[in-house]
């Protein structure tokens, strides 16, 4: 149980285009989903926290107009990187905390590697 999927796993796009990444909790309902970014050999940096039906809370320094987050249901959150540039190339990982059970537990998706040319 507690499986989180992400789609796509890999995306290559041209500079200036927008990319949407989906994060789904497959066998549980997630009150909260988190979006992280990880550069090679570095730690996970929390970008934003999204709660179903409400606006996402962005961490300091993260542009909310560039990284659009929509948490449409208890099993789906999306991250859209708008007008992507090469510096946005990174490993984007989502995680989900179950609506029932241990709130301090988060289950990670497999991640999405974004390469902006």
The 10 Å Cβ neighbour count of residue 98 is 20
Smallest distance, other proteins to C-beta of residue 35, A: 12
Closer CB to other proteins, 39 or 72, in the complex: 39
* Options 25, 71, 107, 114; binder of other proteins; rule CB under 8 A: 107
Nearest by Cα to 91 from 36, 30, 18, 12: 36
Interaction between residue 92 and other proteins (CB under 8 A): no
Part in contact with other proteins (CB under 8 A); list of ranges 13-21, 62-70, 71-79, 105-113? 105-113
Binding residues with other proteins: total (CB under 8 A): 22
Smallest distance, other proteins to C-beta of residue 108, A: 4
Mask 26-45, x = binds other proteins (CB under 8 A)? ------x-x-x-----xxxx
Taking the C-alpha atoms of residue 29 and residue 82, their distance in angstroms, rounded to an integer, is 27
């Amino acid at each position: 149980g507690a499986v989180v999927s992400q789609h796509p796993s890999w995306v290559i796009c041209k500079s200036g285009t927008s990319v949407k990444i989906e994060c789904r909790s497959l066998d549980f309902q997630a009150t909260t989903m988190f979006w992280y970014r990880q550069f090679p050999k570095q730690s996970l940096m929390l970008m934003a926290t999204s709660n179903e039906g409400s606006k996402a809370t962005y961490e300091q320094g993260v542009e909310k107009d560039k990284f659009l987050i929509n948490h449409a249901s208890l099993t789906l959150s999306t991250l859209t990187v708008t007008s992507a540039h090469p510096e946005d190339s990174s490993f984007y990982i989502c995680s989900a905390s179950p609506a029932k059970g241990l709130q301090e537990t988060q289950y990670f998706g497999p991640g999405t590697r974004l390469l902006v040319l």
